[in-house]
Structure formats: structure tokens, C-alpha cells
Amino acid sequence: MPQWNCACANCAAARKGKIEPETQSSIAISAHSGEFQSWWLINASPDLARQIERTPSLQPRSDPSRNSPIAGVLLTNADIDHALGLFLLRQQEKPLVVYATDETRVALEWLDRVLARFCGIEWRKINIDFQTLNGCMALRAIELPHSVAFQFRDDTSGRSALVAPAVSEVTRELSDASDASDVILFDGTFWSDHELATVRPDARSAREMNHLSISGGSLDFLRQSSARRKIYTHINNTNPILMPGTRERTQVEQAGIEIARDGLEIVL
């Protein structure tokens, strides 16, 4: 936000400096702090280069001259706004490690072919059972229609985080995973099912775009969750929760749910 061709209330306010602009959503996760900390990206946004420059811990160390603390990327699905950032990582020497389902890998075959001329991609499968990601962090996938969510477990503290930025419905597995998580980052793309129709009359509904809306959907689900922190992420520029003082934002805040913003740091 702002989106280049959008003049909705949020985009207009962001252009006027009335609310903070936001880059497209990407999350970085790391198991422990320290000098040689490595990071995994959950989805690679088209704004990734800018996000790395704003986040010192994602930047290369001074020696050797080419290096990165980014160990690889975990994809929730094949959406273009989750995959375009992979192009920006093409200059590395080793193949780029990408965890994804077979369905996502097949859908990104075009990108695989382009990157083969640069570093290439080392595809890895994600399991529905916990697998070690590196050192003291474990990862498992929760399968959803058209996407996956990820659950991370810090093996030192035993705490878990659920990261679900693309959710079309709350399945039994997702509900169980959220019950067992200390922190939840959840799909906050749209407030209502027909939100996009206000800016583009022929737009598809949230449901048709595989997103469960907040109103009448995830708000009640998250309100009942006992997780220590619940945070909406992957918020579309049209969503009224991005505007301070709106009735919709107030409802989210009163439900004990936070609204992610660029640079938000969460300690599990």
C-alpha cells in the first residue's frame, strides 16, 4: 500500500502521508539470535530487496564480500506476490533452497526454468509432521485447500508459532494447530467477502480468491483462540483495518488481535 493503480481511501491516505505505506507481505523467521544467525523467508515478496535493506539482520556480513544470512524460502502457495521475490535472490552461487508442495512446484515451473539460468532452485518437500529446519527449529505444513500454513516449533523453548497468510477455510487441522500455538499470524487479506467490488465492480469475491474474510470468518475464530499473540498479516490495501479509527479496526483490536506492519518483530 499504496498499490500503483489504486485510489482507494487507504492508498490515497498513504500517498498523502496520513498513514504509513506498507510493502507486500513477507516474513523472516530464525531460531536463535547470535552472530551467525540464519533466516528463512515465508513467501518472497516483490518488495524483498527493499525489505532486506531495512532489516540489518537480513543483510550480508562484511566478509566474504558475497554472502547472505537467508537460508531459503518457504512457500505457502504459488501466488505471484509470494514468488516474485525468488527472482531477486538469483545472484547467489548455490541453488536457492525452496520448500513447497508438489502443487506449488508444478505451478511455478515457469519460474524454475528462468532461475535455472542463474542459481537454480533446490526444491524440498514439506511434511505434515515436524521436520528439523536447522539446528533448533522444526517445521511442519498444515494442508489447506489451495495453500499450506506452517507451524514452527522452537526446540529450545518448546514454543510454537502458526503462520497462515493464505487461508480459504479453517479446517480441523488448522484449528488444532492454532490451539497448540503461542503466536498466530493469520490471513487478514480482506475484511469482507465483496471488498474488492467497491474499487473494481467485476472483481472476484474474497472466497473466490481463496481468502476467508475477517468479518464473518476469521475474526470469531481468532477471538476464541488462547494464543498469547494473534496478528493479522497479508492485508490487502483495500482493507479498512489498515486505517486507524475505523469501526472495523476497532473490532479487531477489541478482539485482542494485532495488525501487522512493516518491520514488526515478534519474539516467540
CA dihedral 247, 252, 253, 258 (to 10 degrees): -140
Residue 268 engages Zn ion in binding (rule: CB under 5 A): no
| 137-196 binders of Zn ion (CB under 5 A) | none
Quick one: which of 22, 47, 79, 154 contacts Zn ion (CB under 5 A)? 79
Least distance to Zn ion from the beta carbon of 10, Å?
5
Least distance to Zn ion from the beta carbon of 6, Å?
3
Q: What is the C-alpha to C-alpha distance for residues 183 and 194, in angstroms, rounded to an integer?
A: 29
- Of the pair 213, 237, the CB lying nearest Zn ion is at 237
Residue with cell 516474485: 84
- Of the pair 44, 138, the CB lying nearest Zn ion is at 44
Least distance to Zn ion from the beta carbon of 234, Å?
5
| Binding residues with Zn ion: total (CB under 5 A) | 7
Least distance to Zn ion from the beta carbon of 248, Å?
15
Least distance to Zn ion from the beta carbon of 156, Å?
31
- Of the pair 31, 51, the CB lying nearest Zn ion is at 51
- Of the pair 155, 169, the CB lying nearest Zn ion is at 169
Q: What is the C-alpha to C-alpha distance for residues 139 and 125, in angstroms, rounded to an integer?
A: 11
Residue 210 engages Zn ion in binding (rule: CB under 5 A): no
Quick one: which of 8, 29, 75, 149 contacts Zn ion (CB under 5 A)? 8
| 226-255 binders of Zn ion (CB under 5 A) | 237
Q: What is the C-alpha to C-alpha distance for residues 177 and 201, in angstroms, rounded to an integer?
A: 37
Instruction: Tell me whether residue 185 is exposed, middle or buried, using C-beta atoms within 10 angstroms of its C-beta: 0 to 12, 13 to 18, 19 or more.
Output: buried
Residue 209 engages Zn ion in binding (rule: CB under 5 A): no
Mapped onto helix, strand or coil, the DSSP state of residue 74 is strand
Q: In sequence order, which ranges of 122-171 are alpha helices (DSSP H)?
A: none
CA distances from 45 to 22, 64, 108, 138, 144 (A): 12, 26, 15, 23, 21
- Of the pair 138, 214, the CB lying nearest Zn ion is at 214
Q: Which of 206, 215, 205, 209 is nearest to 257 (CA)?
A: 215
Residue 11 engages Zn ion in binding (rule: CB under 5 A): yes
Q: Which of 145, 212, 140 is nearest to 177 (CA)?
A: 140
Least distance to Zn ion from the beta carbon of 199, Å?
7
- Of the pair 22, 79, the CB lying nearest Zn ion is at 79
Quick one: which of 15, 21, 50, 81 contacts Zn ion (CB under 5 A)? 81
Q: What is the C-alpha to C-alpha distance for residues 26 and 231, in angstroms, rounded to an integer?
A: 14
Q: By the criterion CB under 5 A, which residues form the site for Zn ion?
A: 3, 6, 8, 11, 79, 81, 237
